[in-house]
Amino acid sequence: MLRFDIISAIPALMESPLSHSIMQRAKDKGLMQVHLHNLREYGLGKHQQIDDYQYGGGAGMVMMPEPLDTVIEKLKSERNYDEIIYCTPDGETFQQKRANRLSLKNNIMIICGHYKGIDQRIRDMHVTLEISIGNYVLSGGELAAVIIVDSVGRLIPGVLNDESSALFDSHQDDLIAPPIYTRPSEYKGLAVPEVLLSGNDALIDEWRFNESIKRTKK
């Protein structure tokens, strides 16, 4: 069982994407748990403040260390975390290999930043892995966290119906997946490649492999 604890100021952003299709199935099967923690509940004072101006000046608010540290310490006291991930555009670019590795873990914490980001001391004290989902800036880490959970969750053994199907995804072997077709065998004058209708598995495998190579080269 893989447990995710996600810390966010806007957890509602992640509810729907993690409550349908394969993610919901993973949860229903007891193979994955996702716990969302609302950082606001750990905010300071009567306004439950979580962000403040940055030292040294400059535009943009920074997420304060105390609310984050409080919730992180609370979670850490409850279980051991294999990774504490901070979603940030300056992190390691997320790749399939990293998703594969994370799918073998038991407890993963994900911190979603907002505004300018989080106080550096939280990164120094707690974060073990910084992940960017691409070289562009999102308004917060929530969508990145959803992408991490989705790509990792579907790899947990038993989540996908056809156990082997994730092995043949694009990127698993650095090859792009071959073209795929379903019925009808001809649509608007475009026919499905003959070999796929042949019933000859060896020939089909060979065709798919060659198409993968062609697509990857291109």
d(CA 26, CA 29): 5
Which residue's CB is nearer to ligand ADE, number 65 or number 141?
141
Query: Hunting for tokens 């799918």 — which residue is that?
Result: 103
Q: How far is the CB of 111 from ligand ADE (least distance, A)?
A: 10
Residues at the contact surface with ligand ADE, assessed by CB under 6 A: 87-89, 113, 132-134, 136-138, 141, 144
Q: How far is the CB of 147 from ligand ADE (least distance, A)?
A: 8
The DSSP line for 24-62 is HHHHHTTSEEEEEEEGGGG-BTTTTB-EEEPTT--SSEE
Q: How far is the CB of 87 from ligand ADE (least distance, A)?
A: 3
Residue 185: what are its φ and ψ, rounded to 5°? -75, -20
Which residue's CB is nearer to ligand ADE, number 141 or number 153?
141
Which residue's CB is nearer to ligand ADE, number 37 or number 211?
37
Q: Do residues 203 and 195 lie in contact, with contact meaning Cβ atoms separated by under 8 Å?
A: yes
Amino acid 35 reads H
Which residue's CB is nearer to ligand ADE, number 88 or number 107?
88
Q: How far is the CB of 116 from ligand ADE (least distance, A)?
A: 10
